[in-house]
Amino acid sequence: MKQRLLFAVAFGLLLALPGLWAQKAEAVYTSGRVDLKKAGGKLSSLEIGTRLAVGDSVLTSKDGRAELKLLPGGASLKVRPSSVLLIGEKNFSGQSQTALQVLAGSVSMKFEKLVEKEPLVGTGACVAAIRGTEVEVYAAMDGSTLLAVISGAVSLESGGVSVDLAADEAVEVRPGQAPGPKFAWLGREKDFSAWNRGRLEAFLADPLSAALEVEAQLADYRASLKGLLADLAAQTALYDTAMGELKSALEAKDEGRVATLRKEKVFPLTLARATIFLNVRFYALSALSLRRFALGDMYLELKSRHPLDLAAAYAPYLEAHRRILADFETTFVPQLVEADI
Amino acid sequence: MHRTLHPQLRLTLLGLLLPFLYFSCASFALPPGQGAVERTLALIDSGAMAAVPGRASAPFLLDGEILLRQADLDSLWSNLAAARLRLGPATIVSLGKVAAPFPAGFPNTMEARSFIARRLDASARLVLLDTAAGPWWLILEGQGLGGSRLRGIGGPLK
């Protein structure tokens, strides 16, 4: 209950972040069925001209395609069929940055010109910083990522290891693991379905290992979250003290002190808490993405193949699945709201 | 002077009005009954997965997992057909609103809780089945007058 209250207060703090609720992208083209899931949870059809904000997701069906224009800067995001793109936000190196997360399927991103702050790109399992880039991002059913650089440069981090990619280079990243070796990219659109099918076959051959990789990635998110929540609690204690001082100054009608406290303590602490909370949300939503689009897809594949004998055929996998879900419920769900789901 | 409409005219007007009311009130739906459950089960057991109403209605609940993408639903039903899922002979143990108290073993994930709270309309019904494969459940939602669509499936409950 206390955690829920803290969440509600902290969520309100996000309003303190300038530009957070600004529109981040606009739909400039759609074909087939394309849905928009608003940050508030509402599902609707994505129409051309619709503006998207932080927390919104675009979902394409098997015949659906969408093109978004990023605001500002005009970068082009092409969402291919059977894909999910989340427009998130993360505080990175002291600045809040748009984080474009390909949760499933594939998205091509092209930045026509350098903008003031280029977004982060990634999947539910990794995040990369880009510089003047055209990049292809693929997310497989087991949470694996394939990132290919067409032009520009990308710095990607996963499992505590960074890799720098130049034009015509690509890398595959498994959840919770260090990036694989770089390889040459042939400069043409990868057959995503073939790659995803390969990942599916690898999963079916050894589902337990795939589940354990997702568990390792979630453990990384849990560690980041734990640190952030400790920071948030510390900042909240400082904020409460500052608010106590402010109340005393107000009661004493000491206008000079009130102004000083507001400027030097209350506002900076409000902003600091909001910034921390932004990253709390980022990790919680990344965990949710991985839980839904990797762990959920894994479960779907096994359950639908063995609807009547799943427990007998895949007992160790099911045990891991249940353990991961139980941990997700206690670690990440308190940082989520129903609308996120 | 009080005037009444001719009975035949009244019937004609009613006949014109009813379709208008039906089509103008898209959210109006009757809760599915036993017949809808039996029809759905018959389609599943006959392997006619493509004919199951709602098979492509995302979001869909599979045990404790929300399926958001149409591609996932396609995989679900094509795999279930290939696995020759048969739930029959099945008896309906209960058919009621999708609300607590849920049967023991019913998924209690945030996905399931949120799906029930946010993605179903008032006509949705939870069906508990006693099948040869153990207790299974279905969620059916009304669609228009007398129609229904499947919104979730899971089991066996333990």
pLDDT tens string B118-158:
999 999 999 999 998 899 999 999 987 668 999 999 999 88
**Whole-number pLDDT of residue B2:** 53
Residue A236 lies in a domain: yes
Query: CB distance A82–B65 less than 8 Å?
Result: no
Tell me what the mean pLDDT of segment A292-316 comes to: 95
Residue A237 has pLDDT above 80, yes or no: yes
One domain for residues A127 and A173: yes
| Share of residues in chain A with pLDDT > 90 (%) | 70
Read off the pLDDT band of B17 (50, 70, 90). low
Tell me what the mean pLDDT of segment A201-219 comes to: 97
Read off the pLDDT band of A17 (50, 70, 90). low
One domain for residues A25 and A119: yes
Domain CATH for A277: 1.20.58
Instruction: Give the β-pairing of A161-165 and A183-184.
Output: unpaired
Residue A13 lies in a domain: no
Average per-residue pLDDT for chain B: 86
Cα-flanking dihedrals φ and ψ of residue B102, to 5°? -85, 155
Of B72, B85, B113, the CB nearest to A297: B72
Provide the domain limits for residue A225: 207-340
One domain for residues A49 and A107: yes
Beta bridge partners of A183: A170
One domain for residues A84 and A216: no
In angstroms, the separation between the Cα of residue B9 and the nearest Cα of chain A is 42
One domain for residues A214 and A272: yes
Query: CB distance A62–B74 less than 8 Å?
Result: yes
One domain for residues A28 and A121: yes
One domain for residues A159 and A242: no
Which of B57, B75, B110 has the most A C-beta neighbours within 10 Å, making it the best mutation to test the interface with A? B110
**Whole-number pLDDT of residue B146:** 66
One domain for residues A28 and A175: yes
In angstroms, the separation between the Cα of residue B59 and the nearest Cα of chain A is 10
Output A310-315 pairs: Cβ under 8 A, ≥24 positions apart. Answer: A314/A207
Query: CB distance A33–B69 less than 8 Å?
Result: no
One domain for residues A215 and A134: no
**Whole-number pLDDT of residue B57:** 84
Of B56 and A34, the structure prediction assigns the larger pLDDT to A34
Residue A4 lies in a domain: no
Compare all CA atoms of chain A with the CA of B74 and give the residue at the minimum distance. Answer: A62
Residue A12 lies in a domain: no
One domain for residues A171 and A245: no
Which of A292, A304, A323, A328 has the most B C-beta neighbours within 10 Å, making it the best mutation to test the interface with B? A304
Domain boundary (A175, A197, A219) is at A197
**Whole-number pLDDT of residue B115:** 94
Of A143 and B143, the structure prediction assigns the larger pLDDT to A143
One domain for residues A179 and A31: yes
Residue A182 lies in a domain: yes
| Share of residues in chain B with pLDDT > 70 (%) | 82
Compare all CA atoms of chain B with the CA of A141 and give the residue at the minimum distance. Answer: B72
Per-residue HEC secondary structure of chain A comes to: CHHHHHHHHHHHHHHHCCCCCCEEEEEEEEECCEEEECCCCCEEECCCCCEEECCCEEEECCCCEEEEEECCCCCEEEECCCCEEEEEEEEECCEEEEEEEEEEEEEEEECCCCCCCCCEEEECCCEEEEEEEEEEEEECCCCCEEEEEEEEEEEEEECCEEEEECCCEEEEECCCCCCCCCEECCCCCCCHHHHHHHHHHHHHHCHHHHHHHHHHHHHHHHHHHHHHHHHHHHHHHHHHHHHHHHHHHHHCCCHHHHHHHHHHHHHHHHHHHHHHHHHHHHHHHHHHHHHHHHHHHHHHHHHHHCCCCHHHHCHHHHHHHHHHHHHHHHHCHHHCCHHHC
Per-residue HEC secondary structure of B80-139 comes to: HHHCCCCCCCCEEEEEEECCCCCCCCCCCCHHHHHHHHHCCCCCCEEEEEEECCEEEEEE
ipTM: 0.86
Compare all CA atoms of chain B with the CA of A324 and give the residue at the minimum distance. Answer: B109
Read off the pLDDT band of A108 (50, 70, 90). very high
Per CATH, the number for B28-154 is 3.10.450
Provide, as residue numbers in chain A, all residues whose Cβ is less than 8 Å from the Cβ of B41: none
List pLDDT tens digits, range A119-128.
889 888 888 9
Of A81, A300, A325, the CB nearest to B109: A325
Domain CATH for A154: 2.60.120.1440
Residue A121 lies in a domain: yes
One domain for residues A23 and A133: yes
For chain A, the domain total comes to: 2
In angstroms, the separation between the Cα of residue B98 and the nearest Cα of chain A is 17
